[in-house]
A and B are shown apart, each in its own frame.
Chain A
Amino acid sequence: MADPQPAPLLALRGIGKSFLGVRVLDGVDLDVAPGEVHAVVGENGAGKSTLMKIVSGGYSPDEGTVEFAGQPRVFHGPRDAQRAGVGIIHQEFNLLPERTVAENVYLGHEPVRRGLVDRREMLDRTRRLLASIGETALPADSRVGQLGVAQQQVVEIAKALALDARLLIMDEPTAALADQEVELLYGLVRRLQERGIGLLYVSHRLTEVFDLSSRITVLKDGRRVTTVDTARTNTDELVRHMVGRELSNYYPQRADPADRGPVRLTVRGGGNRKLRGVDLELRAGEVLGVGGLQGSGRSALARALFGVAPFTTGDVELDGEPVRLRSPRAAMRAGIAYVTEDRKGEGIVARQSVLDNALLASRAVFAARSGRAARTARVRELLDAVEVRAAGDDQEIRFLSGGNQQKVVLARWLALTPRILLFDEPTRGIDVGAKSAIHDLVRRLATDGAAVLMISSELPELLGMSDRIVVLRDGRIAGELPAGATEEDVVALAVGAVREAAA
């Protein structure tokens, strides 16, 4: 572990942070030298974003010290950190699309002369700033909303530099960029480096990390695994550092390959704004796991199949018949159910009763007159079957635990007797006990003949539950793995560490 530069710009020592008793960061050390690109990698939930928020003033650490430019600092909020010289470029830009580049760059500290905003000065300074990072093609007086994503990123960087940032944090800076734009970002990063600006570069994409950084820190489960010189490591070693925790949970028995039924759902060349060339087969009786990084198109796939944001290209077949799933309603009528990732926002109607929530889908899709009493009775049975624990059917659902809420959502869909179930992070935010109950339910549905597609960013869950796993990357299917694959296999596909052997 080399420590080449004598005076680090940023020095983190023993940083710890907990939320509601859960330890998210534990004893993390990290240095950034002026002009250095220091990459931070780790799985989803490894603590990267919490650490970045601590550096940029979003959170204050429970333990440990932050030293910036040789002085111990406690940042009170993002503005404080900005003034001190720490800028952060979020994945989602903090820009006003209706205002010009210059107005955005100098928002909050517009140059004034005799009490009035000096527009010419503002434009001049913006132009000089853009020129200093080699971006002369970007007009300072164009509206930010009409710029491309890459150019908006440049505006963000200029905005940070206008405040004399000496340390820039880039959080997944290439997530939204097209391939040729990534090259431009590389150039920009190098120019920032030449100016002596230190960069903390958070990325999932190992290629970039290797191209740009001089050192890499690997985080896992809130701890620093190691910090290595980029020149002295390779992808395999890095992936090994990122994963490799023991599989301690219990998962229900997988399907016997012989029990798998016919193909229920086929997608050929499916694409839309977020997906490209998706080929997929889903069989009755199996649980197909979907892995990938955040933003890789996992939810987009489920949303396309459920008609929320349908495929615009390609074909979908259901039991061999071509179908168009153009709205959730159409998907539901075709026998598809979707348990969403965002339970609070999209899954439950918080102030309605357990029963109303469970009846929501059947009421919406099937004619009201067809046996209301029978339908209610059936939903009651289902609520029992999934073992919802509530004070009564008429209790407002918001008072239930996450696990019980999820069971109600599940009962809602089972009332439609779906043949295809899409689960998006079905156990997110659910305690361990309820988790395995959900796992059992999911497996039982498959055993009873449903085709199940399950998205999960929790690798043990994905590996433990799935009969097959497809891994998405950048809106495409990066590869498929059989049951018994390892975490390394999934991560390697997700970050693109394996060159796809010409398949």
Chain B
Amino acid sequence: MTALSLRPARHAVPGVFVALALTLVIGWLVVMLDGGQLFNQSTTVSLLHVAAGLGLVAVGQTLVILGGSLDLSVAYVISLSTLVAAEAMNGSDGALLPAIGLALAVSAAIGLLNGVLVTKLRINAFIATLGVGLLLKGYLDNGYDGPAGESAPALVRTLGYQRIGPVPVSFLLLLAVTAAAWFALSRTRFGHHLVAVGGDPEVARLSGVRNDRVLITAHVLCSLCAGLAGVYLASRLGSGAPRVGTEGLYDLESIAAVVLGGTALAGGRGGVLGTVGGVLLLASIDAVFNQLEVDAFFKQVIRGVIIIAAVAVYARRAMRKAGS
């Protein structure tokens, strides 16, 4: 056997954090030259708020993508969750916890549906979750013209606006959820099995993994994360908002963040830490452009370029790895 330099499989710092650091440094310089300041209290706080909302969704999305699936219904789940939460609270603190529980339960049920469609009925994840998303869209469009319900004041005060220094509570919630997901992936059988199913379903099956059960669980967790993002948005907006998920592009942006974070879109490789990096990267780009008052359309173009460039870099790396 040739003396290979066998490094243990510690995951190196994903490239996304390098990109994040570069973006922040360059952004800081450019904004300074423009006569502004990138890191004042209010921009930092708003950056972290943006990251919290997108991050909650993206961490869930990471789980299903790692398992080789995908969830396009998250945007609608978010909208629905804001409405369920806000309407159940109806402005009273007394109903706070049951309302959150209800919103999460509804989300989990949708995740269960997604999972069952993908595994038991073997519908392609793209189509299955898109279909479920459209189903929810129909319900939302039919039932709501605008904001409805009223979030509990306590929720708005805490999750919505409270912060520790410049760090909003919502961002701490994201960190907690990320830590939990990381722990689940590296320290539970479920996590090991999920990555195996995404890496090669046949290998997983032949090794005794119950693929369907694992993937359904991942879908439920993904929807729960989206539901939690909905609760957070309800706390920011003070009410339920039937279009907030789609207008925020949470479906596509969450997938973009996952891919930026180095998780393979085909599954089997990656993790939630990279995803948080991807989320912070997208949020930072947003913050820089806001400071520079860049045209909103141009902003979209730049984001598109960045996502494509990042994926191209990963593809090249994968090719080099395969070639060596």
Residues of A within 8 A of B (CB): 78-79, 82, 94-100, 103, 107-110, 112, 115-117, 119, 137-139, 141-143, 145-148, 150-151, 159, 181, 184
Contact = CB atoms under 8 A, between A and B. Distances in A.
Interface stretch (B4-12, B108-116, B126-134, B237-245): B4-12
Contact of B208 (A108, A119, A148): A108
Interface of B: 1-2, 4, 6-9, 186-189, 191-193, 195-196, 199-200, 202-204, 206-209, 268-269, 321
Nearest to B270: A98
B51 to A, nearest CB: 27
A146 to B, nearest CB: 7
Nearest to B3: A137
Nearest to A111: B189
A308 to B, nearest CB: 18
A12 to B, nearest CB: 22
A146 B196 contact: no
A96 B199 CA distance: 6
Given A94-B203, A95-B203, A142-B7, A103 B1 contact: no
A98 B269 contact: yes
A99 B8 CA distance: 11
B9 A141 contact: yes
B187 A98 contact: no
Nearest to B208: A108
A95 to B, nearest CB: 7
A110 B214 CA distance: 15
A191 to B, nearest CB: 15
List the 5 closest A-B pairs by CB distance, nearest first: A108-B208, A108-B207, A143-B9, A141-B8, A96-B199
Contacts of A103: 192
A90 to B, nearest CB: 10
Nearest to A135: B1
A96 B1 contact: no
Nearest to A159: B207
A153 to B, nearest CB: 11
Given A107-B209, A139-B6, A98 B189 contact: no
B189 A110 contact: yes
Given A96-B199, A142-B6, 4 more contacts: A78-B206, A98-B268, A107-B204, A112-B189
A138 B1 CA distance: 10
6 contacts: A79-B206, A95-B203, A96-B268, A109-B208, A139-B6, A146-B7
A107 B202 CA distance: 12
A144 to B, nearest CB: 9
Contacts of B268: 96, 98
B195 A99 contact: yes
Contacts of B191: 117
Contacts of B8: 100, 139, 141-142
A61 B195 CA distance: 34
A143 B191 CA distance: 17
A151 B188 contact: no
Contacts of B195: 96, 98-99
A110 B268 CA distance: 17
Contacts of A119: 186-187
Contacts of B188: 115-117
A110 B9 contact: no
A117 B187 CA distance: 5
Nearest to B187: A116
Contacts of B206: 78-79, 82, 94
A291 B269 CA distance: 41
A491 B9 CA distance: 44
B273 to A, nearest CB: 16
A181 B1 contact: yes
A147 B6 contact: yes
B47 to A, nearest CB: 32
A103 B2 CA distance: 23
B196 A142 contact: no
Contacts of B209: 107-108
Contact of B202 (A82, A94, A159, A181): A94
A108 B268 CA distance: 15
B54 to A, nearest CB: 26
Nearest to A141: B8
A78 B209 CA distance: 13
Contacts of B196: 96, 99, 107-108
Nearest to A151: B1
A468 B161 CA distance: 84
Contacts of B207: 94, 107-108, 159
Nearest to A93: B203
A141 B186 CA distance: 14
Nearest to A142: B6
Contacts of B186: 117, 119
B200 A96 contact: yes
B82 to A, nearest CB: 34
Given A148-B2, A150-B1, A79 B208 contact: yes
A142 B1 CA distance: 15
B217 to A, nearest CB: 15
Most buried by B among A115, A116, A184: A116
B203 A96 contact: yes
B4 A146 contact: yes
Contacts of A82: 206, 208
A107 B9 CA distance: 16
A98 B6 CA distance: 14
B318 to A, nearest CB: 11
B69 to A, nearest CB: 17
Nearest to A178: B2
Nearest to A184: B1
A108 B189 CA distance: 8
Contacts of B7: 142, 146
A391 B4 CA distance: 60
A380 to B, nearest CB: 39
Contacts of B9: 99-100, 141-143
